[in-house]
Amino acid sequence: MVNSLRELLDRKAVLAGLALVLGLGLGILYAWVVNPVEWVDATPGHLRPDMRRDYLAMAVESYSVNRNADLAIQRYRDLGTAAEETLAALGAAPGEISPTAIQNFRAVVEIYASGGPEEGSSGSGTSTAESPIRLILPFCAVTSLLGVLLAGALTVRGRRSRRGETARTYPYGPELPAEPGPGMTPSGEREPVATFRTIYALGDDLYDDSFSIESAAGDFLGECGVGIGDLIGVGDPKKVSAFEVWLFDKNDIQTVTKVLMSRYAFNDSATRSRLAAKGDPMQAASGAVVNLETASLEVEARIVDLAYGEGALPAESYFERLTIELRAFQRGPARG
């Protein structure tokens, strides 16, 4: 009698185990074969390294045209933890991308996104199969639960096992910071209507950056920019010994220009006199501020970084690199 009862219990325990395994098997079969997970809306951080570089190259070229800092930062952050590495790789091998464009892109990232891409910004995408899986999971859970309950009843353990799934959400990434506006200027300082940064590097022989100045309402006020003013020596790359910083005001009849000269060029009276025809000559120095004023606009051009080239030419005669930050203000009653 006892042996018969044991055989019965063993047989039913085997059936319960088979029911449990069957339930798990059906769930796995559905999730992996019938309706597998398909990821969509994944960010560029999931791309191969070479494709991430191509993506960032397009982002750099786009920023060089539209000057949209918000969009540039968003595209940079979309690369996630690989963003800095990808930007460094692009800078080391720019290909057809202008070194100045890469430097300008790096500058806007450093200015407005100095914290770098936060962890998790690589994006986990959204699973299109997540909802259908939730439909089949209750069936699998019920089958497994019945098997467990049957096994527990036969072994007189009185245990109940409940099986559940915790829903997961996959956030796209952290909220992107907005480009700092006038309200972010320190108290007591004037509020610029626009701030730009331009970077020259030796070898950018076509360097000529210009920026559109617009009011808070989007009205066109004028333009400002920096370009090559004078050269020294011969051969490639060209050796720039002076830059023109200019300001155009739609409400003024003239364009104001000032010439930033290398130490050697500024100290050469003949060169200084010749360039004075283009604008007021000034010696470039790190941290120096150049002011340009028109009828309704004012631009403060601050030299953020400066380095001279070395070679056969006279010392401190041409620029290896130059970084200038331009802050545009409205003058008079229009300011506010």
DSSP conformation letters of 3-72: HHHHHHHHHHHHHHHHHHHHHHHHHHHIIIIIS---EES--GGGS-HHHHHHHHHHHHHHHHHH--HHHH
177 pLDDT more than 60: no
185 pLDDT more than 80: no
Reduced to 3 states (helix: H, G, I; strand: E, B; else coil), residue 87 is: helix
Q: Identify the pLDDT of residue 159.
A: 40
Judge whether 285 and 302 are in contact, CB under 8 Å: no
Q: What is the mean pLDDT of residues 174-179?
A: 39
What does the alpha-carbon distance between residue 200 and residue 106 come to, in Å, rounded to a whole number?
13
Reduced to 3 states (helix: H, G, I; strand: E, B; else coil), residue 153 is: helix
What does the alpha-carbon distance between residue 287 and residue 293 come to, in Å, rounded to a whole number?
19
Mean pLDDT, all residues of the chain: 77
Q: What is the mean pLDDT of residues 220-244?
A: 92
Judge whether 229 and 280 are in contact, CB under 8 Å: no
- The residue that leads in pLDDT, 221 or 20, is 221
**What angle, rounded to 10 degrees, do the helices at 83-92 and 99-112 form?**
160
DSSP conformation letters of 221-260: EEEEEEEEEEE-SSSSS--EEEEEEEEEETTSSSEEEEEE
151 pLDDT more than 70: no
Q: What is the mean pLDDT of residues 9-26?
A: 77
- The residue that leads in pLDDT, 208 or 333, is 208
Q: Identify the pLDDT of residue 114.
A: 53
306 pLDDT more than 60: yes
What does the alpha-carbon distance between residue 45 and residue 82 come to, in Å, rounded to a whole number?
7
What does the alpha-carbon distance between residue 279 and residue 214 come to, in Å, rounded to a whole number?
25
* Most confident of the following: 1-10, 125-134, 278-287: 278-287
* Most confident of the following: 92-96, 99-103, 226-230: 226-230
Q: What is the DSSP letter of 128?
A: T
Least Cα distance to 212 among 66, 98, 69 occurs for: 66
73 — pLDDT class (breaks 50, 70, 90): confident
129 — pLDDT class (breaks 50, 70, 90): very low
162 pLDDT more than 90: no
Say what the pTM is. Answer: 0.47
139 — pLDDT class (breaks 50, 70, 90): low
101 pLDDT more than 50: yes
List of residues 6+ apart from 297 with CB closer than 8 A = 213, 221, 222, 247, 249, 251, 252, 328, 329, 330, 331
**What angle, rounded to 10 degrees, do the helices at 49-66 and 83-92 form?**
80
Q: Identify the pLDDT of residue 188.
A: 55
Reduced to 3 states (helix: H, G, I; strand: E, B; else coil), residue 144 is: helix
164 pLDDT more than 60: no
Q: Identify the pLDDT of residue 8.
A: 64
152 — pLDDT class (breaks 50, 70, 90): low
Domain segments of the chain as ranges = 2-39+125-154, 43-112, 192-334
Reduced to 3 states (helix: H, G, I; strand: E, B; else coil), residue 278 is: coil
